[in-house]
Amino acid sequence: MSNKLQSINLNKVPNHIAIIMDGNGRWAKGRGMQRVFGHKNALTAVREAVAGASDIGTKYITLYAFSTENWNRPKLEVDALMSLLVSTLKKELPSFQENEIKINSIGNIDQLPKKTQKVLTNIIEETKKNTKITLTFALSYGSREEIVNAIKNISKKVVNNELDIEKIDENIINNHLYTFNLPDVDLMIRTSGEQRISNFLLWQMAYAELYFTEILWPDFRKENLFDAIIDYQNRERRFGKTSEQIDINE
C-alpha cells in the first residue's frame, strides 16, 4: 500500500470523479511524434485512474473522451481516435469483467461511426451486471447541447400535456440529461495545466471541487489520482452553508 493511499480517509472519498484527459497531443509532440501517438499512450493512464478509484472505493468515473467540438479536428486524427476506441474497448473487455467495471456512455452517440456505436453498445450490454465501478465515456459530448436537448424534450411534454410546467424542478431536468443514471460530480480533475471546464458536465458539476495538475494525461498514474483525493479531502465542501453549520452536522 502506498503512503499516499494510507493518507486517504476512505470514509470521505468522492463518489463521482470526472476527468478531462488533457495533454495527449503535447505529450506526443514533445517526443517528436504525431498527436495520435499520445492518444495511444493514454490507455495506461485510464487503467491507472480506474484502478486507483477502485482502491479507494469511488463508484463512478466519467472520462471526457471526445467532445462535440472535437469533430472539428483533422479527419485523420478523428478517424484514428474512433479506431482506437473500438480496439481498446474490445481489448479491455476481459479486464472490465474481471474488475467488475460497468461501461456507460453519454453524449450524442448517434454521431459516432456505425462500427463504433455497435462495439460500444455491445460492451455496455456485456458489462451491465458489473457493480464495482461505473466507467462512463463522454463521447461526442457537449454539456450545452445536452441541456438544450433536455429543454426541448421537457418542452414537448409540456406542449403535449404530459407534464405540468409548475412541476418542472431539478429532478425533472436531471431525468432528461444524458447523466440521468449518474450522481452529481464530486471532484473534477483536469490534466496538462489548463484550467477550464470546456463544456463538460456544467449542470452536474455545480458543486464539484475542481483540481488542476500540470501532468500530461499519458503520464497520469495512481499516485497522481491520490494527490487529487488528498487535496479534495483537505477542502471544506459547504454547499452554500456556513463552516459552522458543516461542523454541527458532522
Average pLDDT over residues 4-10: 94
Catalytic residue at 70? yes
Q: Specify the DSSP class assigned to residue 144.
A: H
At 191 the three-state DSSP class reads coil
Average pLDDT over residues 59-86: 94
Average pLDDT over residues 141-155: 98
pLDDT tens for each residue of 17-72: 999 999 998 999 999 998 888 888 999 999 999 999 999 999 999 999 999 999 99
Residue 213 banded pLDDT, cuts 50, 70, 90: very high
Average pLDDT over residues 75-99: 94
| Contacting residues for 60 by C-beta, under 8 A, at least 6 apart | 15, 16, 17, 133, 134, 136, 182, 183
Residue 122: how many CB atoms within 10 A of its CB?
A: 14
pLDDT attached to residue 34: 87
Residue 236 banded pLDDT, cuts 50, 70, 90: confident
What is the per-residue DSSP string for 155-167? HHHHHTTSS-GGG
| Residue 198 annotated as lining a ligand binding site | yes
Catalytic option among 15, 41, 55, 70: 70
Residue 242 has pLDDT above 70, yes or no: no
Element spanning 212, H or E: strand 209-212
Nearest-angstrom CA–CA distance, 128 and 112: 21
| Residue 238 annotated as lining a ligand binding site | no
| Residue 99 annotated as lining a ligand binding site | no
Average pLDDT over residues 227-238: 90
| Residue 73 annotated as lining a ligand binding site | yes
Look over the chain and give the mean of its residue pLDDT values, rounded to a whole number: 94
| Residue 22 annotated as lining a ligand binding site | yes
| Residue 176 annotated as lining a ligand binding site | no
pLDDT attached to residue 241: 60
| Residue 71 annotated as lining a ligand binding site | yes
pLDDT attached to residue 27: 94
175 forms beta bridges with none
| Residue 16 annotated as lining a ligand binding site | no
Average pLDDT over residues 155-172: 97
Residue 223 has pLDDT above 90, yes or no: yes
| Residue 92 annotated as lining a ligand binding site | no
Which domains can be identified in the chain, with CATH numbers? 13-142+184-234 (3.40.1180.10)
pLDDT tens for each residue of 103-135: 999 999 999 999 999 999 999 999 999 999 999
Catalytic option among 22, 55, 186, 219: 22
pTM greater than 0.85: yes
Q: Are strands 16-20 and 187-190 parallel, antiparallel or unpaired?
A: parallel
Q: Which residues of 77-100 are buried (b: 16+ CB within 10 A; e: fewer)?
A: eeebbbeebbebbeebbeebeebe
Residue 1 has pLDDT above 70, yes or no: no
Q: How far apart are the first and last CA of the chain?
A: 29
pLDDT attached to residue 239: 55
The answer to whether the Cα torsion of 229, 11, 51, 204 is positive or negative is: negative
pLDDT attached to residue 35: 85
Residue 243 has pLDDT above 70, yes or no: no
Nearest-angstrom CA–CA distance, 120 and 239: 36
pLDDT attached to residue 203: 98
Place of cell 482502491: 55
